[in-house]
């Protein structure tokens, strides 16, 4: 390819990439729509509280211990922190890496230290043991006791393949089995946009048995597997497949055991974590809404590969920069047991309060909302439920 042709080709690809970010088209649903801003104006229905986090960002996942204390969440500098409701402050609970030098400081540099300091994502407590299991994007699957401290590595590889991007987990509270996702063996968390654009299919859903200390691969060849959540009676597990904007269901019991099927398809954005709702069904965090142009780019893998191979810029940095100017927002949906969207949680005020949403944890009439890049946890209560 000549230099002039390469320049033209690169320019064309950049135009497509920028268009994909800025093109805004909604995908409609007939579900009950929970408009955050209108709810703010009606104090009888809603109260909203920001629970700020100092010196870090990205409370990706939220969990409460067996005594109901917390929430606990992992943040960008590798810490697990615990919220003390009576004292209205966060305290340090655990870390996922013993090497802490250079881990503190301005949070806009934390992503450069993730591979050293750790980046805790999915969290879940064992209700009988009080142990907290942690899916760390770089450190693998870890566990820490109820007193906290330095987490212990449980797994860093399965069947000879390293855990490249450990992401989410859930625990069968009867058997103690831990189900978790590894999003890719080729791309680390810091390169998640490249993971999506490349069409990578090295993701896996796995199971770890604390009794036998054995790990098994349940499903492989997945495109950015992300959030996982067991059904109420643990007969199946849901798995968000981020690149394909859908949720899959893997059957653990019944005559369908061992089979994989599509549970919810054509979601309005890129799904992140999944949590059961006490009102039935599941909350699915939507990292950001899906633009139709971006969907078109993903439909043709050669475009994504061209962006990665021919554009002489850092795709993650370019995306982060352009996203500051685009109206990119996160949302969440609640789906029922059949995979139908029954509730939508979104701010339509025009104020970009949520640049992304990773998770919604519903507990005692309160919604705790997490995000991979915001410096706070959102707390919504008197939810009109």
Domain positions in the chain are 3-381
pLDDT of residue 347: 75
pLDDT of residue 375: 94
pLDDT of residue 316: 57
The yes-or-no verdict on residue 294 having pLDDT over 90 is: no
**pLDDT tier at 43 (50, 70, 90 boundaries)?**
very low
Dihedral, 96, 103, 330, 377 alpha carbons, nearest 10: 80
pLDDT of residue 57: 94
pLDDT of residue 308: 64
Grouping H, G, I as helix, E, B as strand and the rest as coil, residue 110 is helix
The yes-or-no verdict on residue 262 having pLDDT over 90 is: yes
For residue range 267-288, list pLDDT tens digits in order.
999 999 999 999 999 999 999 8
For residue range 316-370, list pLDDT tens digits in order.
565 555 555 566 789 999 999 999 999 999 876 656 578 899 999 999 989 999 9
With respect to CATH, is domain 3-381 assigned 2.120.10.30? yes
Q: Which residues of 253-279 are buried (b: 16+ CB within 10 A; e: fewer)?
A: eeeeeeebeebbeebbbbbbbbbbbee
Query: Sign of the CA dihedral 105, 111, 112, 113?
Result: positive
For residue range 119-141, list pLDDT tens digits in order.
999 999 999 999 999 999 999 99
Stated pTM of the model: 0.86
């Amino acid at each position: 390819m000549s230099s002039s042709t390469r320049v033209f080709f690169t320019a064309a690809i950049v135009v497509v990439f920028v268009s994909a970010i800025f093109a805004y088209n909604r995908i409609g649903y007939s579900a009950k729509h929970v408009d955050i801003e209108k709810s703010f104006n009606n104090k009888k229905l809603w109260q909203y509280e920001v629970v700020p986090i100092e010196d870090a960002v990205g409370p990706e996942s939220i969990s409460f211990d067996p005594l109901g204390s917390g929430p606990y969440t992992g943040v960008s500098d590798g810490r697990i922190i615990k919220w003390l409701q009576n004292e209205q402050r966060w305290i340090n609970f655990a870390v996922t890496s013993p090497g802490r030098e250079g881990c503190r400081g301005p949070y806009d540099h934390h992503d450069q230290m993730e591979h050293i300091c750790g980046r805790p994502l999915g969290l879940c407590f064992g209700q009988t043991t009080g142990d907290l299991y942690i899916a760390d994007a770089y450190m693998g699957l870890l566990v820490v006791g109820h007193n906290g401290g330095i987490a212990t590595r449980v797994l860093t590889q399965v069947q000879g393949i390293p855990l490249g991007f450990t992401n989410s987990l859930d625990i069968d509270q009867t058997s103690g089995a831990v189900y978790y996702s590894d999003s890719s063996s080729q791309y680390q968390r810091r390169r998640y946009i490249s993971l999506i654009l490349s069409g990578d299919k090295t993701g896996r859903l796995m199971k770890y048995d604390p009794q036998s200390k054995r790990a098994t691969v349940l499903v492989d060849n997945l495109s950015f597997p992300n959030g996982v959540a067991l059904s109420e009676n643990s007969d199946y597990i849901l798995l968000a497949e981020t690149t394909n904007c859908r949720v899959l269901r893997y059957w653990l019991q019944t005559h369908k055991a061992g089979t994989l099927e599509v549970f919810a398809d054509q979601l309005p954005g890129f799904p992140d974590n999944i949590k059961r709702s006490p009102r039935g069904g599941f909350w699915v965090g939507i990292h950001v809404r899906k633009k139709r142009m971006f969907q078109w780019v993903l439909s043709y893998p050669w475009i994504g590969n061209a962006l990665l191979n021919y554009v002489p810029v850092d795709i993650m940095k370019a995306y982060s920069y352009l996203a500051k100017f685009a109206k990119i927002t996160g949302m969440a949906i609640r789906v029922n047991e059949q995979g139908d969207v029954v509730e939508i949680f979104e701010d339509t005020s025009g104020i970009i309060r949520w640049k992304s949403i990773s998770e919604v944890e519903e507990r005692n009439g309160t919604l705790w909302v997490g995000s991979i890049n915001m410096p706070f946890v959102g707390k919504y209560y008197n939810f009109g439920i």
